[in-house]
Amino acid sequence: MAGFLADVTVVVHFAALLYIGLGGFLAWRWPRTIFVHVFFALWGIAINTLPIVCPITALEDFFRRQQGLGPLPGGFNEYYIYGDLIPRGLLPVVAVGAVILLVVSYVGVYLRWRNRRAQQAVPAAR
């Protein structure tokens, strides 16, 4: 069971990373989700810039220990992403791309919010 739960944790972790990268675009359709995304984005930045252990990684390590395995060497990103999914030489480019995605998604949220407010301010034509 611990192996299954560790695998589920990996899937949840990848889903969280996708949401951190692309979730701002969901707010174009559902504007209130931007508040959740801001939390996730700040959390993602903090995990990668401060000496904070990600709770999802800690949970996966717990399930790995239940199987008699050690913790992920270097953490989730180091183990699953760096070098395998993203070549190490491209990490700075990917980081800049992630920031650009975040900014574009947030600018889009703001523009859509402003448009909706402007449309609500104009009385309906009869």
Question: Maximum distance among all alpha carbons in the chain?
Answer: 72
- Reported pTM: 0.83
On the question of pLDDT at 126 being above 60, the answer is: no
Rounded mean pLDDT, 18-23: 92
On the question of pLDDT at 97 being above 70, the answer is: yes
pLDDT single digits (tens) 74-93: 889 999 999 889 999 999 99
- Spatial distance between the Cα atoms of 10 and 14, rounded to a whole number of angstroms: 6
pLDDT single digits (tens) 24-46: 999 999 999 999 999 999 998 89
Cα end-to-end span (Å), the chain: 64
On the question of pLDDT at 119 being above 90, the answer is: no
